[in-house]
Amino acid sequence: MGRLSQFISLLTGQKKGRKFLPGLILSAFGGFLLSLSFPLADIFPLAWISLSFIIIPVYGASVKTSWFYGFVSGMTFWLFFASWMSTFHSLSLVTAIPYLSIYFSLPFLILNAWNRITKGRFRYLRPLVFSIAWIGFEYLRCTGFLAFTWGVVGYSQYRFLPVIQIADIFGVWGVSFLVVFINASLAELIIFINEKGYTKKDLIKKIAPAAIMLFVAVVYGFLMLSQQKPKPTYKIALVQPDVDPAAHWQSRSIAEKTMEKIETFSKYAADQGVDLIIWSETLMARKAMFFYKYYKDAPGDNFYRKMGEWFRNLPEKLKTDMLLTAPHKIWVDKTNEYGKMIKKSYSFNSAFYINKKGVLLDRYDKIHLVPFGEWFPYKKELPFMARLLAKTIASDFTPGKRYVVFKSKKARFAAVICFEDIFGYLCRKFVLYGADFLINTTNDYWSRSIASQEQHFAMAVLRAVENRRYMVRAANTGVSCIIDAWGRVESRLENHQQSVLIGKIPLLRDKAKPLYTHWGDWFALLSLYALLILVLFELGYGVRILTKKFIKKFANKNR
């Protein structure tokens, strides 16, 4: 205990000596522990302590060093957590990991600056300051063109059902805040115990805020989980065929075998008397609806015509409603800058709802596209980037504009495509527009990583809880599953298992929409505004100190 006390004193600046390297090692260790709290390791309790390993040395460091500790811990976290990024392009690790690590590091910088400005006073506010900064920067990272919600701390708790129930009020940000606040409080407690002259009353004061928060969250969670499930009435089938989009459509012979496999799975589902068959994202890799529309007059043996007709007529053939997915392309008459009428093509990542009579009821075009992977809107401004992306597996889609809720006689549902289920703001809108349940059609084959698939699945759990609606996932390679409105996984297929998942779900049309569905990311925005005030306060103080130094230096020079 004596050596541990000396080590903590060394890290926090209470004892003179070389403390940079121990602090650096401890920070990297904290980032590594945090990565283990997410899938695949899934040791979610580690998230509650990992950040404290970084916070402790930050208090004894300079402003620059505290930022560097945070940056190194962020680099460690992202390298272990998201090494699968290299599948997209080798430059991904070189560019994305440092970029994401900057967001990771900034809360530690804010905390250090606050501690210096207040000269160690108001210590009881330090956990709150750090938590606000963390949520503010975490939210910033998840907005805009480069929005990336992987690694949000709250998602590490997707298996800790009593705690994540607060997401129906605060969103995933509330879960993150709770985890981060307890980390910061733990760091504060360790530093405090290391000091002399404390009493039991002092310790209780340190523990009380975090303990009360956790207690209230868990009690609320158990109350929500004790609710009785509604009776399931709507039967669905999720097709997981494990098709390689690049290899399984390369030639006519290969494509015919792929179509035969997909139809076999779909026919099996139809034979079970399901209400809806759901395909995974871009399961029909070619522009099937385009072929159906533009190749109608082609010779009967034209393969593109056959492919389009197979795709379009399959629901009527199987006598079952189907949610089919494929890239979609349309031609639109446009006037160019010279006033000449031209035809311009637009491509979409789409889901088509076709009923058992063969009627196309509606189409949803993916709204939130993957930056760089599915679209890049700055081709004219950054032509070199456009040329680089053209050499990768990147697509060139156009964002959709309509929030579509598909309607049948029995149900109303919405499809979020690919990684759209990682955005709470998007999913809640479909529920507000009347969706009884949410469908995620996704194809994570490109990542070549089970870790990526499991991490993606973990985020979908929070979408179900936030909106108190069932989330069903049809994934090409996994994870295909049925998640109830409380985040419990009712059934799932294993990764890369070629199969069909059949299950029944209740339609929660009459269930009251939770606060998060109505108000959205209000808690994250509140944290962001509070962070802005903090930054302005700290910048103002810094300018004041620099001004005083300049005036003093100027006065001494002119004596």
Residue 1 has pLDDT above 60, yes or no: no
Q: Please tell me the predicted confidence (pLDDT) of residue 245.
A: 82
CA distances from residue 71 to 57, 66, 92, 117, 472 in whole angstroms, order as listed: 13, 9, 17, 22, 37
Cα distance between residue 314 and residue 320, in whole Å: 9
Range of the domain at 36: 2-226+523-549
Residue 178 has pLDDT above 60, yes or no: yes
CB-based contact 427:373 (threshold 8 Å)? no
Q: What whole-number percentage of the chain has pLDDT above 70?
A: 90
pTM of the entire predicted model: 0.92
Count of domains in the chain?
Answer: 2
CA distances from residue 17 to 7, 119, 194, 256 in whole angstroms, order as listed: 10, 21, 17, 71
My answer on whether 31 and 148 are in the same domain is: yes
My answer on whether 174 and 241 are in the same domain is: no
Evaluate whether residue 16 is within a structural domain. Answer: yes
CB-based contact 50:33 (threshold 8 Å)? yes
CB-based contact 476:240 (threshold 8 Å)? yes
My answer on whether 29 and 16 are in the same domain is: yes
Q: Please tell me the predicted confidence (pLDDT) of residue 299.
A: 87
pLDDT per residue over 80-110, tens digit each?
A: 999 888 776 667 778 889 999 999 999 999 9
Residue 199 has pLDDT above 80, yes or no: no
My answer on whether 380 and 248 are in the same domain is: yes
Residue 17 has pLDDT above 70, yes or no: no
Looking at 2-16, 142-156, 258-272, which range is the least confident one?
Answer: 2-16
Cα distance between residue 122 and residue 238, in whole Å: 54
My answer on whether 463 and 489 are in the same domain is: yes
Cite the beta strand spans of 180-264 per DSSP E. 234-240
Q: What is the average pLDDT score of the chain?
A: 89
What does the angle CA 532 – CA 538 – CA 541 come to, to the nearest 5 degrees?
A: 140
Residue 554 has pLDDT above 90, yes or no: no
Which amino acid does the sequence have at 129? Answer: V
pLDDT per residue over 411-457, tens digit each?
A: 999 999 999 999 999 999 999 999 999 999 999 988 888 999 999 99
My answer on whether 159 and 262 are in the same domain is: no
Residue scoring higher pLDDT (329 or 266)? 266
Cα distance between residue 108 and residue 133, in whole Å: 8
Looking at 7-21, 89-103, 471-485, which range is the least confident one?
Answer: 7-21
My answer on whether 302 and 158 are in the same domain is: no
CB-based contact 318:357 (threshold 8 Å)? no
Residue 328 has pLDDT above 80, yes or no: yes
3-class secondary-structure state, position 50: coil
Evaluate whether residue 554 is within a structural domain. Answer: no
CATH number for the domain spanning 345: value is 3.60.110.10
Evaluate whether residue 353 is within a structural domain. Answer: yes
Report residue 385's pLDDT band, with 50, 70 and 90 as the boundaries.
low
Average pLDDT over residues 362-376: 86
Average pLDDT over residues 339-366: 89
| Residue 511 in tokens | 């269930």
Residue 478 has pLDDT above 70, yes or no: yes
My answer on whether 368 and 298 are in the same domain is: yes
My answer on whether 541 and 494 are in the same domain is: no
Evaluate whether residue 555 is within a structural domain. Answer: no
Q: Please tell me the predicted confidence (pLDDT) of residue 197.
A: 63
Evaluate whether residue 297 is within a structural domain. Answer: yes
Residue 368 has pLDDT above 70, yes or no: yes
Evaluate whether residue 96 is within a structural domain. Answer: yes
Looking at the DSSP bridge assignments, the partners of residue 328 are 348
Average pLDDT over residues 233-255: 91
Cite the beta strand spans of 122-256 per DSSP E. 234-240
Q: Please tell me the predicted confidence (pLDDT) of residue 324.
A: 95
Report residue 285's pLDDT band, with 50, 70 and 90 as the boundaries.
confident
Evaluate whether residue 208 is within a structural domain. Answer: yes
Report residue 375's pLDDT band, with 50, 70 and 90 as the boundaries.
confident
3-class secondary-structure state, position 307: helix
Evaluate whether residue 558 is within a structural domain. Answer: no
My answer on whether 401 and 448 are in the same domain is: yes
My answer on whether 342 and 366 are in the same domain is: yes
Radius of gyration of the chain (CA): 27
My answer on whether 508 and 542 are in the same domain is: no
